[in-house]
Structure 1
Amino acid sequence: MHARGFLSRRSKAGAAGAIAFALTVSLAPMGGFPALAEAPRAEAREKASAEVFDEAARLVRQNFYDRNLKGRDWDALTTSHRQHYLAAKTPKERSAAINALLAELDASHMIHAMADDPAYYQLADIFRYGLRRTLSKHFPNGISYPGIGVFTRDTDGKTFVAGVLAGLAGDKAGLRVGDEIVSVDGAPFEPVVSFRDKVGSHVKIAIRRERNGPLTNVVAHPQRIEPGKAFRSAMRDSARIIEANGKRLAYIHVWSYAGEDFQNILMEELASGKLKDADALIWDLRDGWGGAQPRYLDIFNTRGPDMTFTERDGKTSFASFKWRKPVALIANGGTRSGKEVLTYGFKKYGLGEVIGTTTAGALLAGRGHLLSDGSFLMVAVNDVAVDGERLEGVGVTPTIEVPFDIPYAAGRDPQLEKAVQVLSEDTRG
């Protein structure tokens, strides 16, 4: 997972690539373009090479939430960026040309992703039900990609670990937030390509933990990452108890909220899992994908009842559960979309402290498209207001501001440390 396709792909006005709590799907044609046999050969090649770009521009025109395209001269913009697309030498450059066109609309939820980008697989998985008729063509063995389960961020030409999915290969290898990734098996780091054909084997990752410090090699065993499954397992594995000041603090990191499963995991861990006997909760919504529904905040509405079901074998499950103890929410610039709705409501209705930095300001509803070459396009199709307020391009400010400088953090997390301090000193309950 990589910042270029997952964490910090941004338009001019806000973060792009985020998933809204409203998800819809559309399929672009997989073929059926006009024949080019009568055109001169060079012109035919140019038209053929521009088909994907033209598809993307057309789908934006037809589906973007503002039918006036924010007053932009879309024809002129398309013509200009089309030239950059045609001049591109590689698939990555062509995708960059499409994303540059999308960025002209200053909106989140506008992204083009290809197979060298983890976002391609993550978005395909999130939209898989609507795309299931065509996904088998591109993912005959299911949606997965080779990786180690870390988020990275590029800063000053260097790549740093910005997050580690608990229980996955990067975590097992001992990678920490703040590590500079210098190379993988002696070659520059690429979030997918570096691990292609190496699943089941091992790679040597050269890292630097201190600014201008020595290089250290860690050995990781790349795995096939199935996005939804990986996010669910990492969420469960992140759940732990932090002992502080005589209190037991529950911690859990929700990397994705694109589906009811993630809220069910939260409820299960708090009601009957590893976190059930905690004195307070740290709810980490930093980075990853949105998709959350406003009703997920009901778990903190103490005025409702709990309800459990018990099977004949004594197994119990919770239909409704309320957390009646203190809670703090951690947010940052990667907290986006549906997660921003939760952060907004959590803050507005006084459910606890919001600790960290201002959220992404990426709150539109997106629709996914598979283009004719199998690449993925997401277009913002609905504007969104929360309690009448528009968060797009604005975000939600924390109640306690705590900056976090990722490079060479050596695993230290000042935002989590502050949450621990706040809750461990809380005298309620």
Structure 2
Amino acid sequence: MIRTCFLLLISLAGIQASWAQRPSTLDASALDFYLIQAFQARTSTERLPLNHIGVQVQESVSGYLVTAVLEGYPAHDAGINRGDIIESVDDQSYHPVYSFNEPELAAEEFGADSLEHELVVRRGQNRMVLSLLPVFENLYDSYRTATLNSIQEFSVGNKVIGYIRLWGLSRNSNDLLSLSNIIAQLDHCDGLIIDLRNSFGYLDLQHLDLVFTDRSRYFDMAGASGSLTSLASSIGSNIDDPYRKPIAVLVNADTRGGPELFAYQLNKLGRVTTLGTASAGQLGDYRMESTDSTPVLHYQPANELLIDALPFEGRGLVPDTRVEYPYQQTTRGDPQYEAAVNALMGTI
């Protein structure tokens, strides 16, 4: 049975509060600039590499709050967790870009950093001093590698649950094939957790083909422009061997772009449940411009876009089960992940 998916209806004040955390203009001092630039680049050689430690962060009063940590990257290997605050690097205030890259250089001039750096990280009332060597890599490749590093299988009772954190969705043919192979490898699992929290990227219909048996059930789209035009029409056809077992999908306020549409469509299946908090409602495109030879990304909201005859921009997807997990929460355990496991165990 197809379940109706509800969109978040929020007040104007709520929209303003959400967008206050996501500036409509990004320059090379913002870590998000390198993420979006790398995903929008037409070729691998155009993706800008930078030295980084594999975190997403939000600026706070005493430093930068860690909102996500990429599996297998320096911060993860050093034990930095979501909810930690990075206060300083080498006795200087931490900056997510310029603590590891020369601020005097243009973004395309960054070079690999071969030195370890001393970070002061606060967790609750405790401080840690950690030595980290950044990686020099574009964030498209980092997100792809972290996705591969995230794959798990674990037993709960006599059931096996698979897990994958899709840090980014890509329309690259190699990435689509890789994801298809991953889902095939997890096909023996009794249930699957697809973690889309803090994810970004661009949806392709082939992503949905991994789970659906027929494209005729995909969402209707009107008013599409830019990167969304390739999704505006879908041809109904049978799909070979999709994943047919229960799925729990995790989303949060930093689930942006293609991953939001992925979760929205999955939520139409009766064997899929979504958990977490409402997604960003950010389906527009970023346009690259240069101001005084400085590259800047400007966000173009998809205000005219309708998904199944309803607006999505600035509203996002409301999950079936709301589970709060504030970034400031430093207690052990992940209540959203635990809720996903419990939801699957109730159905498999």
Q: TM-score, normalised by structure 2?
A: 0.77
Q: Is the 8 A contact 1:280 1:325 kept in 2?
A: yes
**Mapped pair 1:277 → 2:188:** yes
Read off the aligned partner of 1:397 and give its amino acid letter. V
What is the SS of the residue equivalent to 1:423?
A: helix
Read off the aligned partner of 2:300 and give its amino acid letter. A
Q: Shift of residue 127 of structure 1?
A: 2.4
Read off the aligned partner of 2:207 and give its amino acid letter. Y
Indicate the residue corresponding to 1:191 in structure 2.
Answer: 96
My pick for the range that moved more, 348-357 or 186-195, is 348-357
Q: Is the 8 A contact 2:52 2:135 kept in 1?
A: yes
Q: Shift of residue 229 of structure 1?
A: 1.1
The gaps in structure 2 that reach 5 residues or longer are 1-13, 103-111, 216-238
CA displacement, residues 207-238 of structure 1 (integer Å, 9 cap, x when unaligned): 2222xx23111221111021211111110001
CA distance in 2, matches of 1:222, 1:200: 8
Indicate the residue corresponding to 2:132 in structure 1.
Answer: 220
Read off the aligned partner of 1:287 and give its amino acid letter. N
Read off the aligned partner of 2:259 and give its amino acid letter. K
Aligned residues: 301
Indicate the residue corresponding to 1:413 in structure 2.
Answer: 334
Higher share of residues assigned helix: 1
Indicate the residue corresponding to 2:7 in structure 1.
Answer: none
Q: Is the 8 A contact 2:170 2:204 kept in 1?
A: no
Match 2:66 to one of 161, 184, 194: 161
Indicate the residue corresponding to 1:290 in structure 2.
Answer: 201
Indicate the residue corresponding to 2:221 in structure 1.
Answer: none
Residues 267 and 333 (structure 1 numbering): CA distance in 2 closer, same or farther, change over 3 Å? same
Q: Is the 8 A contact 1:294 1:341 kept in 2?
A: no
Q: Shift of residue 374 of structure 1?
A: 3.3
The structure with more radius of gyration:
1
What is the SS of the residue equivalent to 1:339?
A: helix
> Comparing both chains, which one has the higher relative contact order based on Cα–Cα distances under 8 Å and sequence gaps of 6 or more?
1
What is the SS of the residue equivalent to 2:311?
A: coil
CA distance in 1, matches of 2:337, 2:301: 35
Read off the aligned partner of 1:207 and give its amino acid letter. V
Residues 224 and 320 (structure 1 numbering): CA distance in 2 closer, same or farther, change over 3 Å? farther
**Mapped pair 1:364 → 2:284:** yes
Residues 182 and 411 (structure 1 numbering): CA distance in 2 closer, same or farther, change over 3 Å? farther
Read off the aligned partner of 2:246 and give its amino acid letter. P
Residues 277 and 338 (structure 1 numbering): CA distance in 2 closer, same or farther, change over 3 Å? same
Match 1:117 to one of 6, 10, 30: 30
Read off the aligned partner of 2:114 and give its amino acid letter. G
1:312-327 residue pairs with structure 2 within 5 A?
Answer: 321-327=241-247
CA distance in 1, matches of 2:82, 2:44: 34
1:194-343 residue pairs with structure 2 within 5 A?
Answer: 194-196=99-101, 199-210=113-124, 213-260=125-172, 261-272=174-185, 275-302=186-213, 321-343=241-263
Q: Is the 8 A contact 2:283 2:301 kept in 1?
A: no
Using the aligned pairs only, state the percent identity.
26
Q: TM-score, normalised by structure 1?
A: 0.64
Q: Is the 8 A contact 1:267 1:321 kept in 2?
A: no
Residues 204 and 180 (structure 1 numbering): CA distance in 2 closer, same or farther, change over 3 Å? same
Read off the aligned partner of 1:378 and give its amino acid letter. H
Residues 196 and 340 (structure 1 numbering): CA distance in 2 closer, same or farther, change over 3 Å? same
Higher share of residues assigned strand: 2
Q: Shift of residue 148 of structure 1?
A: 0.3
Residues 391 and 14 (structure 1 numbering): CA distance in 2 closer, same or farther, change over 3 Å? farther
Aligned-CA RMSD value? 2.8
Q: Shift of residue 157 of structure 1?
A: 4.7
Q: Is the 8 A contact 2:169 2:259 kept in 1?
A: yes
Q: Shift of residue 11 of structure 1?
A: 7.5
Residues 368 and 293 (structure 1 numbering): CA distance in 2 closer, same or farther, change over 3 Å? farther
What is the SS of the residue equivalent to 2:264?
A: helix
Match 2:310 to one of 389, 393, 412: 389
CA distance in 2, matches of 1:390, 1:118: 29
CA displacement, residues 27-82 of structure 1 (integer Å, 9 cap, x when unaligned): xxxxxxxxxxxxxxxxxxxxxxxxxxxxxxxxxxxxxxxxxxxxxxxxxxxxxxxx
Read off the aligned partner of 2:212 and give its amino acid letter. N
**Mapped pair 1:344 → 2:278:** no
